[in-house]
Structure 1
């Protein structure tokens, strides 16, 4: 499956979860749109740490420039995750413990990748200065 197919399946799943047929009751459209936004942001909150973890593991065998770009993306994803968490908190009027766990794990993952990047940068710097 390619990325486009996965994205289509996720969107169709979100639509089916928010439809009134699967809820078994009729609700107003404002409540449905709020539920759709909550589900969308919760999917973002689950997808970001999972994807970041896989990229960090995969980046162990990549070159320094890739790791620098990955660190920039991870920093942006951390900001996106915190904004999504605030949005879910505002919409649901509460914060679940698994959202806190995901935010903490993503923050730790960004920090660990920063340490890996720094270690790789120091290795390259020591190699280059050792040649002179």
Structure 2
């Protein structure tokens, strides 16, 4: 036995996505509170970074978003940390919306890793904990 739950990263990402989808609907036995959606999506984003090709598009969205801000001359010098800060403010500063929080939460791990520095801490710590249980 290599882990506590032998799902693999692709299986775990699929299971977590299904749980989030069913839980957000709120009409089933599973319920995910709107405030918890970003955390579920963040976990899905961490799993997607190590999953197969079906999840690779999720990880690239954060990089594309940051590159679009960097390439805009009107914004001046823009770094990936600024994109991570805007994303974090959008998640925790605006009213909870499942679609917004799921999207922002799923792209956050890749964006935080690209930003480096203190932004990398939540990604690396949580990723280490998840991989100890999943693989």
TM-score, scaled to structure 2: 0.30
Could you say which structure has the larger radius of gyration? 1
Q: Which has the higher contact order (CA 8 A, sep 6+)?
A: 2
- Greater share of residues in helix: 1
TM-score, scaled to structure 1: 0.31
